[in-house]
Structures are given as C-alpha cells and as structure tokens.
Amino acid sequence: MKTHKVEQLVIATTGFFWCFLMWFATAAFSPSIAANYHLSIKAMGLLASSAIWMAPVGRVAAGWASDRFGAPRTFAFVLGTCGLVSIASAYTVDYRLLFIERVIVAAAGVSFVIGIQHVAQWFKTNEIGTAEGLYAGTGNVGAGAGALLLPRIFGTDYRSAFLWLGVVALGIAVWYLVRGKAAHTAEQRDLVRARSDLRGTLFVWTRYIALALMLAYAMSFGLEIALNAWLPGYFTRGFHGAIVALGFTGVAGIQIAAGTFAAVESFTASLFRPFSGYMSDLFQRKGWTPLPFMARTLPYAPRLHWLGIAVILITMGMTGLTIAGVMGSLHLSVMVLVVLGVFISCGTGGTFALVPLLFPDRPGTASGFIGGVSTAAGIVYPLIFASGADIHMGYLAVALSMFLPFVLFYFWAARYERHPEEHGLLTQVLVIEDAA
C-alpha cells in the first residue's frame, strides 16, 4: 500500500479528534441526562468525574498495545468498541446501564497515546515536535468543539448525538484499518513489537528521565484537566462580587461568566500546543541550551531545555495566579490565566516532542506511562486548591509543594550527557543489551 506520512498524520489526528468528541459528549449533555433521569447534584458530579476514570490505567494499556499490535489496529479497536457502545447507549433507558456504557465510551480518551506512537513511527527527529504538536493540539480541540457544537446541533436529544457519534466512529475505524500503516518501515515496526514485553515496560517505568517527563506532563496536562474542573467554581466563589458588578446575575449568569473565564485557559492550552512543538523543533535547529545544570551535548538537549523553560514558566504562572487573586483583580486573574494556558501548552507540546526521541524502541509504552499516570494529577490538584482557608492560595501551595520539587527532579534527571535513559532503578536487572 502506497501512503505518505502526512496521510498517516491526518488519519491519526482525525481519529483522536473524534475520540475526544466522544470522550466529552457525556459532559456536554449532562443537563439533559440529569433532567431525563431526575439526577441529584451528587449523581451529576459522579457522571462528570467518570469521564477520567479510565484514563490512567487505560492509557498505559493502550500505549503497550500500540507497540505490540501497531497503532492502526489498536486505534481501530478503540474507535470500534467505543463507537458500538455509544450506539448502544443511544437506545438505553436504564440509567445504571447508561452510566456504565458512558464510562466505556469515555475510554476513547486513551487514544491519545496510540496516535502519539503512530506519528512517532513516521516523522523524522527534526520535525517530530511540530508533527506531534499538530496531532495533539488539533485533536484536543475535539473536547471544546464537542461542548460548543453538540448541544447546538442536537439540542437536548442526546440519544441522537450518541448514535451519530458512534456511527461516525465506526467509519473512522474502518478508514484507520484500511489506510493506516503502523510504521514507516517494517523493520521499525518489528523492532518496536519485539520490545513490548514486560521487562521493556518495567525498564521504561523505572527510568529517571521517564519519571521526570511524567511529572512534567503532570504539571502541564494534569494541571490543564484539573483547572478545567476547578476554575468555574473558583471564579464563582473567588470573584462573585466582581462578576455581579459586570452585570451577570443569578446562578445561570454567573455560571456563564465563570465558565467563559475558565474555558479561555483550556482553549489556549489546546490551540497553542502545536506552537510549542514547533518551538521545540526551533530550539533543536538553533541548538539553544540556555539553562544551567542540564545536559548540553545530547543530540536532543535543546528540546530538554525548552521543556525545562516550560516547567519553570508554569510554576511562575501558578504563583502569578495567586498574586492576582490575593489582589482581588478579576481582570488580572483572567490575563494571568490566558498566559498560564500558553505556558501549559509549552509543557504538553514540549514533553511529547521528547518522548519518541528518548524511547524510540518503545514509543507506545513510554507514551502510555507518561501520558497516563500523569492524568492522576488532575484529581490531586483540585483537592489542594480547595484545602486552604484562602481560595486564592491553592495555586501557590501546589507550586511550592509539588511543582518546585518536580522541576528540581527534572533538572537532576536531565543532567546526563550520555544516554539518560540508562539511568534509573533496577538498571542491572532490567538492562537489555541492545537497548542503547
């Protein structure tokens, strides 16, 4: 079969976009579902949180499967399964069954790491940042697009939405199977498949640099999904008076204003992500290595430095958010949030411009670990944000207690001038002769 890497990028991006559309479709129709089944606030919260349940473990499994069976088969399986269950959920009348079906459909979110692996198998090292950025950034928009468009297209008829989302998912699954190709060469595909054993998985999980990248992704994407859940409530409580002064009254009005301020962060974080991948490519091309302590002679050292800058900026952005909040300035808080969204995109794009280069023989396993485990941070941060006496201080608390140690660990793990992936726990047991 004759194909081109851009075709593979388009297939992966389309599949990922649609998976994200399905992932957040439940949330988009939660008011309609709640009204239909007379759900309590508690039950609505459970339904909303269920979207993320499958991500940590599911992404780890999906990453391994994409190495083992190839991205096209794995992606088609995810699309096909989620599509069929989505169609089934359109005809379900029992709420408990609907809840279970929507949790299964939300597993579509694991597709992120499959596409990362797929793109990594096709693009050259000097363009990997832009390619992965375009894939992830454009695909991520599916979440926002779903929330914006689905209720406008289908109104309160969530059953029709679930039906059509599933039908199109099946079509994309067939397209992926027919036109998708696992790797640029058969040798590369076979090498990755051979390395997808348990020892190879443990090898990746115990590398210091893999742990550092996982924490960097927890600081960026983990923070992004945490803020998605936290910010509407934060603005409602922290800036109630200022929002009322803008002319928004009543619960619905304040929710619109608070939701808008919050959405700006996620929108910016998604759509600036390709830019971050491009910046990683630019750092690499120019050979910029401005940070102290970190490796300078590694072939991909400039990309490590770009990510180092990103995690510092995210920590500073979180501090700025607390300062703006303590000052009581709604305008300044929103401006800092927009900038923080850009900084977060620098972290997300910068991380996955590095992963395929650090673990070229195990891109799926590494992507699954880094992109999966880090999502658990999205559950932890809101708990810290909400734990303090002052609602504005939570960002500084996270920055000092978590992000600062993460940044120091990143600098420490990225200091090796030769083969950083050889340094980790249990190296003597897990080392594979031809890993390097």
Partner 1 sequence: MMKTMEASAAPAAHDPWYKYGVAVLILEMAIAVAVSAWSLYMTFHGLGGLSGKH
Asked whether position 296 contacts partner 1 by CB under 8 A, the answer is yes
Residue of 17, 43, 29 whose CA lies nearest to 160 = 29
| Interaction of residue 109 with partner 1, rule CB under 8 A | no
Q: Exactly one of 43, 127, 179, 189 binds partner 1 (CB under 8 A); which one?
A: 127
Site string for partner 1, 147-176 (x = CB under 8 A): xx----------------------------
The rounded distance, in Å, linking the Cα atoms of 191 and 361 is: 7
- Cα 362 from Cα 211, distance rounded (Å): 15
Task: Quote the least distance from Cβ 430 to partner 1, whole Å.
Answer: 27
Site for partner 1 in 240-259 (CB under 8 A): 246-248, 256-259
CA distance 32 to 105: 18
Q: In the bound complex, what is the minimum distance in angstroms from residue 84's beta carbon to partner 1?
A: 25
Contact status: 232 vs partner 1 (CB under 8 A): yes
In this structure, are residues 432 and 203 in contact, taking their beta carbons and an 8 Å threshold?
yes
Q: Which of 37, 164, 275, 409 binds partner 1 (CB under 8 A)?
A: 275
Total residues found in the chain within this entry: 436
CB atoms within 10 A of CB 405: 11
> Would you list the DSSP string of 148-172?
HHHHHHHTT-HHHHHHHHHHHHHHH
If you write DSSP's letter for every residue of 233-258 in order, what string do you get? HHHHHHTHHHHHHTT--HHHHHHHHH
In whole angstroms, the minimum distance from the beta carbon of 97 to partner 1 comes to: 26
As a whole number of angstroms, the distance between CA 320 and CA 316 comes to: 6
From candidates 237, 240, 331, 418, binder to partner 1 by CB under 8 A:
331
Task: Give least dist CB 299 to partner 1, A.
Answer: 5
**Rounded to an integer, what distance in angstroms lies between the CA atom of residue 397 and that of residue 78?**
38
Stretch 341-400 residues interacting with partner 1 (CB under 8 A): none
Residues binding partner 1: what is the number (CB under 8 A)? 59
CA neighbor of 225 nearest in space, from 53, 105, 387:
53
Q: Are 128 and 356 in contact (CB under 8 A)?
A: yes
Between 196 and 268, CB nearer to partner 1:
268
Judged by CB under 8 A, the chain residues 5 through 64 that form the site for partner 1 are 5-6, 24, 27
How many whole angstroms separate alpha carbon 285 and alpha carbon 299?
11
Q: Contact with partner 1 (CB under 8 A): which of 199, 237, 285, 419?
A: 285
Q: In this chain, which of 119, 120, 301, 373 binds partner 1, going by CB under 8 A?
A: 301
- Of 3, 126, 156, 427, which one interacts with partner 1 (CB under 8 A)? 126
- Interacting residue ranges for partner 1, rule: CB under 8 A: 5-6, 24, 27, 124, 126-127, 130-131, 133-134, 137-138, 141, 143-144, 146-148, 228, 232, 246-248, 256-264, 266-268, 270-272, 274-275, 277-278, 284-290, 296-299, 301-302, 331, 334, 338
